[in-house]
Amino acid sequence: MTRLILHGELRQFSPAAAKVQEVRAEGRTVHDVLLSLGVPIGEAAAFVINGEQVEADAVLHEGDTLEVLPAISGGASQGALDGVRVLDLTRALSGPYCTLMLGDHGADVVKIELPGTGDETREWAPPYIGGVSAYYLSINRNKRSVTLDLKHPDGKRVLERLVERSDVVVENFSPGTFARLGFPDETLRRLNPRAIVCHISGFGQDGPGRAWAAYDLIVQGMGGIMSLTGPRGGQPAMVGVPEADMVAGMFAAYAIVNALFARERTGSGQVVDATMIGGQVALLSRQAARYFADGTVPGPEGNVHASIVPYQTFRASDGFVNVCCGNNALFERFVRAIDRDDLLEDPRYADNGKRVMNRESLIPELERRLAELTKDDVVKRLREANVPVGPINGLDEVFADPTVRHLGLVVEVDHPVAGRVRAPGIPVGMSDTPPSVRLAPPLLGQHTNEVLREAGFDDAEIATLKKDGAI
């Protein structure tokens, strides 16, 4: 028998929507097996046999495990935000990441872009995929694009009608810009008292930082994250992804959902002020607690923990691993797993407090031993001993990892120009209202006519708007 695992929406083709089933597949190709079960090949993004990605003509053998990943995660299922209309006036990263999250959970996101140019990330390249910016593709799925000139009187009229029909309005212009275009908060709330209006900025809509330019690197530095990142005694380092932008978008999406929930009680919308600097300060967590407790200003600690030993990165013979021993029992299992039982007899390492004091003698002993083992060997030994361990993976290893694949953290969607596009999947699952990838990142203005017709504009009006340059 062959163990078949259908991920995501492909479960609908399994009896009782089961994720795992046993099938007779020995000597047959992946394509033939799926065809016999009624699983459409075109809805599958990848086929994995025993942890290795294969083509559809690969032949299965007795005892194999076949995993099938969906081309579009979650299919057309209704997410938790199904029926929520989001008017997205954002560009670059923080705002689009916010609306990406809302769209993944079922919201109808209408992305407003400037005619002719659109979101500036359309030009943030290379790399390109089929001539389309990979950066833009990564954060704009599940959205419909409408081109609209907000400086044109008729463009303003169109936007007013869209505001009237929306549950959420999100913008990340420089503070005050949207108001100068004729859409201050009071106007938006007059047009639609139930709408949630969300502003995303670097440093807030008022106060001393409202006029400051905000880019991810700037805010990582100002918010303290960079002061904590990097090698001990070395130069501060930024995080390897634009987390200041992304965290701001996450907190904005979180606040919007809270506001929608509150609206169910009150019947009214409200204004949300989400900031990049706010997200950074919120992440300071235990380091802030340390500062507030005794006034210590922490600096970069590298990949070690100030209060736990060993809790750090080690170099194996062919790569790096992280090991975390948060208590004495874990330390004992750790040293036994790597054949260094002798360290248990040394009174300097009898408990965590002593290990912290004697870090300088203990860590070299561990480093020498782990350097003799491969990365896979270290991980295997420590996992078998139930010691927290993990490899430091490059992205090629991340996206080949069986756990990442099992959780549906890689999705594919067909783009009309770029072809089949892969992207990180949706990081949460929900039993009754699963999130999904339903739409490819849109072409500039791809849905203008469609959205305007839904808003009540007839074809003649749309033609006039286009002729006059409003759309």
Q: How many CB atoms lie within 10 A of CB 262?
A: 14
DSSP 349: G
Assess contact for 95 and 72: CB atoms under 8 A: no
Beta-bridge mates of residue 415: 419
Q: Is 180 exposed, middle or buried (0-12, 13-18, 19+ CB in 10 A)?
A: exposed
DSSP 144-165: EEEE--TTSHHHHHHHHHHHHT
245, 294, 376, 458: which one is catalytic?
A: 245
Q: Beta 65-70 vs 2-6: how paired, if at all?
A: parallel
Beta-bridge mates of residue 275: 201
Beta-bridge mates of residue 133: 128
At 117, list the tokens. Answer: 């140019």
Beta-bridge mates of residue 316: 319
Whole-angstrom distance, CA of residue 332 vs CA of residue 324: 12
**Close Cβ partners of 228 (under 8 Å, ≥ 6 residues apart):** 284, 287, 298, 299, 300, 301
Whole-angstrom distance, CA of residue 80 vs CA of residue 434: 7
Assess contact for 214 and 202: CB atoms under 8 A: yes
- Does 245 participate in catalysis according to the annotation? yes
Place of tokens 């004729």: 182
CA distances from 10 to 35, 141, 355, 428, 432 (A): 13, 20, 50, 17, 16
**Close Cβ partners of 318 (under 8 Å, ≥ 6 residues apart):** 374, 375
Catalytic residue ranges: 245
